[in-house]
Amino acid sequence: MNILHMKYAVEVARIGSINKASEELYIAQPNLSRSIKELESDLGIQIFDRSPKGMVLTPEGEKFIRYARKVLNQIDEIEKMYKAGAKAKQRFSISVPRASYISDAFARFTGSIGAEPAEIFYMETNSSMVINNILSSDYKLGIIRYASSYDKYFKNMLDEKGFAYEVVAEFRYVLLMNEKSELAAKEDISFEDLRKRIEIAHGDPYVPSLPLEVVKKAEMADEIERRVFVFERGSQFDLLAENPDTFMWVSPLPKKLLKRYGLTQRECSWTGKVYKDVLIHRKDYVLTELDKQFITELCDSRRECL
């Protein structure tokens, strides 16, 4: 199998078009098409379905591209490792839920990186993407969040996909709002108090293999008439800070962040649902020193906030 052909296939899969990939790779389109066909012939599989809309991966092709990316990444690492004069880089990668206690831990963790060359990747996203990031080998660690009612579903799935996992936090959501909000002055906040206000919610509350509508129904009350979906945590805080009529359900925040944005958080006795944050990685992955340092900061931040 030709490694160059493998690189071509990965690029075609990324772009979804032979013509555009040939431009990116500076190779004639007929030569690129021939290389892909030779690769498919060598492997005895069909990697792409050709259609007027472009090149679409087959199920076998998806599996091949996932492994090919991993192999090419390892080749790149070997080349960098043995280049004359090149220093080995510290590497750390994690994708997590949009949680302030986790981002606080990450911020403190960056202080332990030191002066050596390093590549650090931190992504806030949903549980489905966290799992996909590790399966594609782009990220080594992940933290997924789910309601405890989904516990059996997630554990079965993690076992099936070959993940090691450990619960790092269990909590109930708190109500986050502007400190100048009328809600903040109430001694006891009821659900009725929220009906006419604007809820800020994550824009992608996905659970792997479950329909989006099922998840939305479980996580978002139909009675709330106005809801703004936002994907980025900083913008969520900006909205809460600027508009006293908004609120959001979140995992507990560090006090310094509440002060920075002029927000307050309140527990509500009628919210009984428990959530779990679970650290995951492949079973064959060995934690690095950087990984262990982050986990230490994560545990410290959890104790302070939760």
User: Per CATH, the architecture of 3-82 is what?
Assistant: Orthogonal Bundle (1.10)
| Same fold across 90-164+276-305 and 173-271 | yes
Q: What is the pLDDT of residues 61-96, one digit of tens each?
A: 999 999 999 888 888 877 776 665 556 678 899 999
Please, what sign has the CA dihedral across residues 136, 138, 139, 142? negative
Look at residue 160 in the predicted model and tell me its pLDDT: 93
Cβ within 8 Å of residue 244, ≥6 positions away: 177, 178, 180, 181, 182
Pick the CATH number of 173-271 from 3.30.930.10, 3.30.70.1400, 3.40.50.150, 3.40.190.10: 3.40.190.10
What is the per-residue pLDDT across 206-218, written as a single tens digit (0 to 9) for each? Answer: 556 555 565 555 5
Among residues 203, 190, 198, which one has the least CA distance to residue 244?
198
- Who wins on pLDDT, 280 or 49? 280
Contact 119, 91 (CB under 8 A): yes
Cα angle 272, 242, 236; round to 5:
50
Ranges of each domain in the chain: 3-82, 90-164+276-305, 173-271
**Per-residue b/e over 199-232, b at no fewer than 16 CB within 10 Å?**
bbbbeebbbbeeeeeebeeeebeeebeeeeebee
The per-residue pLDDT for 103 is 95
- Tell me the pLDDT tens digit for each residue of 166-192: 999 999 999 999 999 999 999 889 999
Report the top-level CATH class of 90-164+276-305: alpha beta
Task: Enter the tokens of residue 75.
Answer: 């080749």
Contacts of 58 (CB under 8 A, 6+ apart): 45, 46, 47, 48, 49
Average pLDDT, the chain: 89
pLDDT band at 54 (very low <50, low <70, confident <90, very high): confident
